[in-house]
Amino acid sequence: MTRSRVWACAAVLVTLGASGCSGSDTGEPLGPSGAGADGPAAASASGPAGSGGAAGPTGSSAASTGVGGSGEGAGGAGGVANNGFPAHWIDGTNCAGDPEVQVWEYDADTFILRQSPCTYFEANFLYVLFGDDKVLLQDTGTGDATVQPVVQGVIDEWLAKKGKTSIPLEVTHSHSHGDHIGGDYQFQGKPNTVVVGTSVDAVASFFGITNWPTEIVQHDLGGRVLDVIPIPGHQSAHIALYDRRDDVLLTGDTLYPGRLYVSNWSAYQASIPRMVDFVNAGNPVQWVLGTHIEMTTTPGQDYAMGANKHPNEHVLQLTFDTLLELDQAVKAQGGSPSYEVHDDFIIYPL
Ligand SMILES: [Zn+2]
């Protein structure tokens, strides 16, 4: 189906060449373009890759929620026991056989969904986090995949296991770009469901943030507290979620194994250390999880813009070391942001 895609960042780049994105979000000014022009620079340091679980059947199957079986190598300290990560996410190389949405049971209360690259090349990752009283969905994908019945299937199975009959669903967003809110329409009007607005005001109001973007607040799902960290820079209403139970930091499009488009450099420069400081203040991170994969298993090599097949994908999970590497690189660039390739991500000022 066709939906408006005002973010169209990568898509625009495909069409125009590496000349920067246009029309991104809700009025956030896009900096002068000319990204990518500077060519690769410095780079690379520690590359986590390969961390985390391997093996394990890929939990595919769409609406029926055939959740993934156990991977292995949850590894790391802290956090509750988990299944790690699948050996491979659906990567667009088997469109006839793969579901539109892959469901991975990270642990009994945490699910990672991947929208197939066959439905749209952005191939977003979505997160479902259950507390005792509420379940939170971060992001709804591009709108090209049928996501809501899959999420409902996950919820129904969880309810059955818990012997419950219902749980309220909160649909929130890492940020307001179209590939993260495109499926909202599938949730609007559904019973027991709140779809949070996408503006800075709406996000701040929902979570109770009065001093954006410097205030970090807690959001309790019932026995499971999330810390909400405003991290504008990629987009003005961007947030990170820290899950105290799993020691996982959800970083959206601000940090993931791929092209880190930065539309507001000074805001981004302030957001990265905000996360680092938060972690260093006593909030350990086992995994840093973003919402796309655009890097291959070859260090520093990304897929072509708009590629809808991702053979040999980089793993989804990053570590705190990667966040530190990004922090140092962003600081080093100072007031002159430039395209910079690292093993596990690419800084991509717009
Ligand atoms: Zn995105």
Residue 236 located in a structural domain: yes
Mean pLDDT of 60-83: 50
Indicate if the pLDDT at residue 7 is higher than 50.
no
Residue 162 CA to ligand 1 center (angstroms) comes to 33
The domain that holds 190 is classified in CATH as 3.60.15.10
> Rounded CA gap, 74 and 70, in Å?
10
Q: Which domain holds residue 48?
A: 9-349
Residue 322 located in a structural domain: yes
Helix axes of 320-333 and 265-280: crossing angle, nearest 10 degrees: 140
The tens digit of pLDDT for each residue in 269-321 reads 999 999 999 999 999 999 999 999 999 999 999 999 999 999 999 999 999 99
Q: Do 228 and 206 contact (CB within 8 A), yes or no?
A: no
Q: Residue 79's pLDDT is what?
A: 56
Residue 124 CA to ligand 1 center (angstroms) comes to 7
Residue 157 located in a structural domain: yes
Residue 234 CA to ligand 1 center (angstroms) comes to 9
The tens digit of pLDDT for each residue in 156-185 reads 999 999 999 999 999 999 999 999 999 999
Residue 225 located in a structural domain: yes
Residue 174 located in a structural domain: yes
Residue 246 CA to ligand 1 center (angstroms) comes to 23
Residue 56 CA to ligand 1 center (angstroms) comes to 27
> Rounded CA gap, 293 and 279, in Å?
23
Residue 2 located in a structural domain: no
Mean pLDDT of 177-199: 98
Residue 1 located in a structural domain: no
The tens digit of pLDDT for each residue in 111-162 reads 999 999 999 999 999 999 999 999 999 999 999 999 999 999 999 999 999 9
> Rounded CA gap, 234 and 46, in Å?
24
- pTM metric for this prediction: 0.82
Q: Residue 50's pLDDT is what?
A: 35
Q: Residue 319's pLDDT is what?
A: 98
Q: Residue 64's pLDDT is what?
A: 35
Query: How many domains are there within the chain?
Result: 1
Where residue 35 falls among pLDDT bands split at 50, 70, 90? very low
Residue 91 located in a structural domain: yes
